[in-house]
Amino acid sequence: MEAINKTSKIEKIIKLTLITIVGTILITISAKVKIPFYPVPMTMQTFVILLIGITFGYKIGLATVTLYLFEGIIGLPVFANSPEKGIGIAYFIGPTMGYLIGFLAAVYFSGLFKYDKGIINTFLKLIFSVSFIYILGLIWLGTLIGWDK
């Protein structure tokens, strides 16, 4: 009986690890695929962050986004435009750091909410979740380059 419990725990850990890795791959792909939008090209990262929160839940979602940020900090080219602008911690603490940190709050809230109260309620919850990306991004950007610019 004890051996079965150990096996099922190991299988669960392997499954959760694979889900987390697949999630980071999805975020990376969504960062690299650009949708032509003038004047700033748009990526699908925000959509994928919310999707991960909704489908994985807040615990695995947070683990996934944390792993994604860690991959970028250690130098893997996972962030949008990272090869052109440098990789690693130097890119992370650049102008987009607030948005990247906002991913954590967005995935947490999108994973925490229940989506069974209708489309308007769901829409408002997702707007609330995504607002953290933009609020933290603007705060960091304003702090970094100055509010007067």
Residue with tokens 């150990």: 6
What is the domain count for the chain? 1
Q: What is the mean pLDDT of the chain?
A: 90
The predicted model scores a pTM of 0.88
Q: Give the model confidence (pLDDT) of 119-146 as tens digits.
A: 998 999 999 999 999 999 999 999 988 8
Geometric angle at alpha carbon 50, from 48 and 55, rounded to 5°: 90
Instruction: Give the domain extent around 129.
Output: 2-145
Q: In this structure, which amino acid lies at residue 37?
A: F
Q: What pLDDT is stored for residue 40 in this prediction? A: 61
- 20 close to 52: Cβ distance less than 8 angstroms: no
Q: Give the model confidence (pLDDT) of 2-24 as tens digits.
A: 666 777 889 999 999 999 999 99
The CATH code of the domain that includes 125 is 1.10.1760.20
Q: What pLDDT is stored for residue 3 in this prediction? A: 65
Mean of the pLDDT values across residues 80-107?
87
